[in-house]
Amino acid sequence: MGLLSKRDSKLILDPLSDNNPITIQVLGICSALAITAELEASVVMSIAVLFVMGIGNVVISLIRNIVPSRIKIIVQLIVIATLVIIVDLVLKAYAYELSKTLSVFVGLIITNCIIMGRFEAFALANGLWRSFLDGIGNAFGYAVILVIVGFFRELLGAGTLWGYPVFGDAIDKTGLYAWGYENNGFMLLSPMALIVVGIIIWIQRSKSTHLIED
């Protein structure tokens, strides 16, 4: 047997496919629409969420037995906000450049419903190790969708990937543009992100039909 038992590895693998936080649980849609205009931004956001979810789930799981149920939502919010602010401060002091790239995501992480959703649905009822795995798994599930959406939006909207022009120069009309290809500026706007997520959901459900509800 490997590092993880079957039950544990399910926690990591499920969110990547059959229990994906965005396409199945429909959590975290807001940030998936907001910051996926570029691949780089998608990856930065994914890493930030991975970090906060991993640690946040552990902290919540640690205090799950002593949290008064009537204020548990407030407690969860405070845990997320504290973690994010600590990360932000430390980056500002030791990796200033990186902190500037991240600054806009700070607010988006705090309000990300995936994090609250997993605290509520999983960490409050499970032990440390399993909560940690669940956090990491869901963050990866989130990251996969973000990267796919970011990939298509940047490619079709701006003709670049990670800032690198893959189709040639749109203004000088070189590469693909010489043949009359044009960037689709609509891809850069949030509505197209929703459509891309919709297409992903469509493909996923037509492949695994057991996911379709009546």
Query: Which positions touch another protein (CB under 8 A)?
Result: 34-38, 41, 65-71, 74-75, 78, 82, 85-86, 89-90, 92-94, 96, 103-105, 107, 153-154, 158, 163, 171, 185, 188-189
**75 vs 133, beta carbon nearer another protein:** 75
Integer Cα distance of 97 and 90 in angstroms: 12
Structure tokens at 95: 């990796």
**105 vs 167, beta carbon nearer another protein:** 105
Integer Cα distance of 189 and 166 in angstroms: 20
**134 vs 154, beta carbon nearer another protein:** 154
Q: Are 49 and 142 in contact (CB under 8 A)?
A: yes
Integer Cα distance of 198 and 196 in angstroms: 5
Q: Closest separation between CB of residue 191 and another protein, Å?
A: 11
Q: Closest separation between CB of residue 197 and another protein, Å?
A: 16
In the block, residue with structure tokens 């991975």 = 50
Q: Which residues contact 67 (CB under 8 A, 6 or more apart)?
A: 75, 124
**63 vs 203, beta carbon nearer another protein:** 63
Q: Closest separation between CB of residue 20 and another protein, Å?
A: 23
- Residue type present at position 154: E
Q: Closest separation between CB of residue 163 and another protein, Å?
A: 8
